[in-house]
Amino acid sequence: MTTATEHLNHGHDAMDHGWRRWLYATNHKDIGTLYLFFALAMFFVGGFMALCIRAELFQPGLQYWQPEFFNQLTTLHGIIMVFGAIMPAFTGLANWMLPLMLGAPDMAFARMNNWSFWLLPPAAALLLISLLVPGGAAGGGWTLYPPLSIQSGMGMDLAIFSIHLLGLSSIMGSINIITTVLNMRAPGMPLLKMPLFAWTSLVTAYLLIAVAPVLAGAVTMLLTDRHFGTHFFKAAGGGDPVLFQHIFWFFGHPEVYIMALPAFGIVSQIIPVFARKPLFGYVSMVYATCSIAILSFMVWGHHMFAVGMPATAQLFFMFLTMLIAVPTGVKVFNWIATMWQSSMTFETPMLFAIGFVCLFTVGGFSGLILSIAPVDTQMQDTYYVVAHFHYVLVAGALFSLFAAAYYWLPKWTGFMYHEGRGKFHFWWSMLWFNVTFFPMHFLGLAGMPRRIPDYALQFTDFNAIASVGAICFGLGQVFFLFNVIHTIRGGVGPAPSRPWEGGNTLEWEVPSPAPHHTWETPPDLATVQRGLRAQGLEND
């Protein structure tokens, strides 16, 4: 008997303290926390770069930066936001929440999980150090198109190596997510009844496994073109720079769904909870997620209408792109139908979720406009595109992350955040986001090109407005940091295990803060089924 308890306690409840807890972390919650803090830090680094860009663009003419450095700022801003902030934040959420929501004790491969995370800081360090090497950081844009990316200095090599590490990290993280979701669900939770966030994480992980190696291949070919005498992308040696664009965007378009699908999952968790009504059309949400994922492999050419392609190819990419609007529309209609005639309340997570639905739709519509090949040949590389992708990435991915943070902070910290301050953060962000990015539609339509440090005089007013908006938006995010710290330090008081009346998924069955180890014995069938019934996924 004693031996049995001793055995149970040994090594299991023992938790490393100090730096060992984090460096040797194998616990999914600790690793989730590491991911989330890393993402938050990168969000501020990338955000600072965005403000440096906006400062230069406040007025025409060159004020602060040399053009070369301006290009490095845009490039690093893009890479850091995509690979350093948004993607790690979603992986952090998956790590923290999937085992809790599925009733599993941890992620499937706890030690590999440690590696997935700890590859990220060196990758980020490479990118930041590259600012200091001769020639500076990579300046060819986050898309790294040759010939620029072949001609530039060693900052590009560091970026390539950084992308290798980031890709490795993504692949290992994805293997973990897929294995956990497929094998470790509580008894009584078939795939078609698991929380939608688990579904979108699963599909996203498959996308990443499919395309991270494609990106790695593309940048490796860049590397060998740069240093080892190959001519994949060098026209002078018989290669083709356009080939790079095909490979890059075969990765790049699924990549935008890697940043969008988890956001759909989060919003699909949150809206039913605050509407106190089961999610409308659960199964159609799953099918829509899968359709979007499959279609995302067939539309890469819409980024390349301007390189010159046969009319049939243009039509193919244009129609398939438009087809994605169908499953996306299904999702938007389902979210609205969930809210229809429901008893909604508007706590901060719900506000961000609704903000997401409204603004992501705006970004979706400008995307639809860009998908029209003859229109895109006019708008390619203008600020219209910048407006479009910030609507889907900032008001889309980022807003969903804020929604998730406020939604789960009580579970993470054991304390409630200050509702008034959360709401303030939402309305402030909503306002200044639109002030920053809406005028960019007009700038783009009027012909202002992207990735330039200087511009023609007629673009002055809207640029000044956008820059003021960006500064204010940025300040609001410092306020978010303040909210998070305030909550960690006790917030407005202890949170109950189920702070949201409508929270019926399994994470609300464990105490707040979630103990270091949860679901060491899986939740019993009755608990699982009670939750499913409340979510409308199982009949009485």
Q: Mind telling me the catalytic residues?
A: 77, 106, 142, 169-170, 253, 255, 257, 268, 302-303, 328, 331, 450
Give the torsion through C-alpha atoms of 441, 362, 249, 311, to 10 deg.
Answer: -80
Return the residues of window 46-65 that contact ligand HEM according to CB under 6 A: 47, 50, 53-54
Q: Closer to ligand HEM at the Cβ: 31 or 81?
A: 81
Q: Which does 400 bind (CB under 5 to 8 A by kind): Cu ion, ligand HEM, none?
A: none
Beta bridge partners of 449: 382
Instruction: State the first-to-last Cα distance of the chain, in angstroms, to the nearest integer.
Output: 41
Q: Which does 253 bind (CB under 5 to 8 A by kind): Cu ion, ligand HEM, none?
A: Cu ion
Helix axes 311-339, 282-295, angle to 10 degrees: 160
Give the torsion through C-alpha atoms of 124, 128, 133, 138, to 10 deg.
Answer: 80
Q: How far is the CB of 470 from ligand HEM (least distance, A)?
A: 4
Q: Is 180 an interacting residue with respect to ligand HEM (CB under 6 A)?
A: no
**Cβ pair 352, 406 in contact under 8 A:** yes
CB-count burial class (<10 Å; 0-12, 13-18, 19+) for 128: middle
Q: How far is the CB of 498 from ligand HEM (least distance, A)?
A: 31
> What is d(CA 468, CA 271) in angstroms, rounded to the nearest whole number?
32
| Residue 361 CB neighbours (<10 A) | 18
Q: Is 256 an interacting residue with respect to ligand HEM (CB under 6 A)?
A: no
Return the residues of window 242-271 that contact Cu ion according to CB under 5 A: 253
Residues 77, 164, 331, 388: which binds ligand HEM (CB under 6 A)?
77
> What is d(CA 275, CA 269) in angstroms, rounded to the nearest whole number?
11
Q: Is 142 an interacting residue with respect to ligand HEM (CB under 6 A)?
A: yes
Return the residues of window 509-528 that contact ligand HEM according to CB under 6 A: none
437-472: burial string, b at 16+ Cβ within 10 Å, e else: bbbbbbbbeeebbbbbbebeeebeebbbbbbebbeb
What six digits make up the tokens of 295? 């279609």
Q: Closer to ligand HEM at the Cβ: 113 or 477?
A: 477
Q: Which does 75 bind (CB under 5 to 8 A by kind): ligand HEM, Cu ion, none?
A: ligand HEM
Q: How far is the CB of 362 from ligand HEM (least distance, A)?
A: 15
Closest by Cα among 157, 123, 128, 125 to 140: 157
Q: Is 470 an interacting residue with respect to ligand HEM (CB under 6 A)?
A: yes
Residues 31, 34, 52, 82: which binds ligand HEM (CB under 6 A)?
82
Residues 75, 314, 504, 512: which binds ligand HEM (CB under 6 A)?
75
**Cβ pair 379, 368 in contact under 8 A:** no
Q: Is 398 an interacting residue with respect to ligand HEM (CB under 6 A)?
A: yes
Residues 25, 31, 42, 81: which binds ligand HEM (CB under 6 A)?
81
Q: Closer to ligand HEM at the Cβ: 26 or 143?
A: 143
Q: Is 262 an interacting residue with respect to ligand HEM (CB under 6 A)?
A: no
Q: Is 447 an interacting residue with respect to ligand HEM (CB under 6 A)?
A: no
> What is d(CA 230, CA 240) in angstroms, rounded to the nearest whole number?
12
Q: Is 434 an interacting residue with respect to ligand HEM (CB under 6 A)?
A: no
Residues found near ligand HEM in the complex (CB under 6 A)? 47, 50, 53-54, 74-75, 77-78, 81-82, 86, 141-142, 386, 390, 393-394, 398, 436, 450-451, 470, 473
Residues found near Cu ion in the complex (CB under 5 A)? 253
